[in-house]
Amino acid sequence: MTTTPDDLTRALPGRPPVVDLATWQVARGELLVREKAHTRAGDAIAAERRRLPMVEIDGTVEVVGPDGPVPFRSLFQGRDELVVYKHMWHDGAPHQGQCEGCTVSAWQLKDAVYLNARGVSFAILTTGRWDEVAPFVDFMGYTQPWYSVRDVEAPVGDEMGSLATFLRDGDRVFLTYTTTGRGVEAAAPSFALLDMTPYGRGEAWEDKPDGWPGGNGPCWYWRMDADGRAGWAESTRPVPQWSRPGATPVESLGRHGDHH
């Protein structure tokens, strides 16, 4: 028996109701009103963010990169503003055992040309030792600057898995903003795109109509095995790693202890 596209559509566990274009446009217009209000609310929050006070930090504190120890203020690369992503790290773990959540953000921040054009520099910080970090950065093919902040005190070396912004005034450096929790989603546009799709992120916590696919645990598609099955297991890698030269099937994440 041949299965037609119509049969496949009906076989889905849940789908939006089918209506004519005029009816769809009315419903779309009603949602657009809420979307515009959401956008304006976001603009208002951004305005408040710009009005936050700032904290002066020691711009001479040293971080370690490909050229050895350098002062933190050098990360500005002569610009006045700096955004950093703080990448979690598992000491001693092989590439497949490094943080899958931070890979989601770092992989989608591979190019900062638009930030640079606006006068903003970008860098990734991590608590990993540089001798472990360097081969990982090379394997992933990252071209953004990475630095180890091992043993560097707050606010430069704290709260991994977050974004932070800094302002430079000559040789003086100031912390202006940090994210918490899902604030890092700003660095991963794939989330916003998934939120536009009928089935969303495919995660169980989402509010779905009755009959929709139930969804899996949070972040279930951040890792994948050699056969292309998404999910969390000892035989998986962070999804982008399968596109890297030399990526092979694995049997262990090789993690020892907690994040550092």
The predicted-structure confidence for 179-230, as pLDDT tens digits, reads as follows: 999 999 999 999 999 999 999 999 999 999 989 988 899 999 999 999 999 9
**CA 95 to CA 247: how far, in whole Å?**
9
Q: What pLDDT shows up at residue 13?
A: 66
* pLDDT < 50 positions in the chain: 1-9, 258-260
Domain ranges of the chain: 52-184
Closest CA to 82 of 187, 175, 186, 181: 175
**CA 102 to CA 123: how far, in whole Å?**
14
Q: HEC string of the chain?
A: CCCCHHHHHHHCCCCCCCCCHHHHHHHHHHHHHHHHHHHHHHHHHHHHHHCCCCEEECCCCEEEECCEEEEHHHHHCCCCEEEEEEECCCCCCCHHHCCHHHHHHHHCCCCCHHHHHCCEEEEEEECCCHHHHHHHHHHHCCCCCEEECCCCCCCCCCCCCEEEEEEEECCEEEEEEECCHHHHHHHCHHHHHHHHCCCCCCECCCCCCCCCCCCECCCHHHEEECCCCECCCCCEEEHHHHHCCCCCCCCCCCCCCCCC
Q: What pLDDT shows up at residue 181?
A: 92
Q: What pLDDT shows up at residue 36?
A: 98
pTM of the model: 0.90
Tell me yes or no: is domain 52-184 CATH 3.40.30.10: yes
Q: What pLDDT shows up at residue 257?
A: 60
